[in-house]
Amino acid sequence: MTYLYAGLGLSMMVGILAILQYSDAILKKSINSIIPKNDYASSQYQKIDIELLNIIRTTNLSFGFNDEICRSLKFEINKSPQLNILMNEYIISQKTNSNHPDFKGSCTLTDGKHRLIISPKASTNAKYVLYSCILDKKEYCNFEDY
């Protein structure tokens, strides 16, 4: 019986020491967390999105549906010299491949690096919703896959 208790005590001590060594190794390990690069913040794309949101919010006109939205929006963009310079390479592009109801009746503008989806909204607060993404060597935004 004495050997049993001595063996249990010894195994408990070995377990405690193993846990201490493991926790000490974790505490001594340096934390190398790297903040991911944000290509959007303070970029021209963010400025474009802000200006387009202002146009959508302040314009009381109905832009219509589908590509008519983009044509009407491009007309409004041409009225703003600063925004016209930023968006001179944007064209009406392929419709979204998403079947999500939020994208129904939407249109897309892109310059090949930045994609904008403008979609009609049924709510009374906003007539249109702007979705935006930076295309990382892709044709569609990541959120369009759902």
Q: Is 71 left (phi over 0), alpha (psi -120 to 50) or beta?
A: alpha
What is the pTM (predicted TM-score) of this model? 0.69
Domain for residue 38, yes or no? no
Domain for residue 96, yes or no? yes
Structure tokens at 6: 């001595």
Domain for residue 29, yes or no? no
Domain for residue 66, yes or no? yes
pLDDT at 125 (0 to 100): 65
User: Mean of the per-residue pLDDT values for the chain?
Assistant: 83
Range of the domain at 74: 44-145
Number of domains in the chain: 1
Low-confidence ranges of the chain (pLDDT < 50): none
65-80 pLDDT, tens per residue? Answer: 777 788 888 888 888 8
* Percent of the chain residues past pLDDT 90, beyond the cut: 6
- Specify the length of the chain in residues: 146
H-only helix segments in 29-102: 44-58, 67-79, 81-86
107-118 pLDDT, tens per residue? Answer: 899 888 899 988
Domain for residue 93, yes or no? yes
Domain for residue 74, yes or no? yes
Q: DSSP 3-state assignment of 3? A: helix
pLDDT at 61 (0 to 100): 65
Domain for residue 99, yes or no? yes
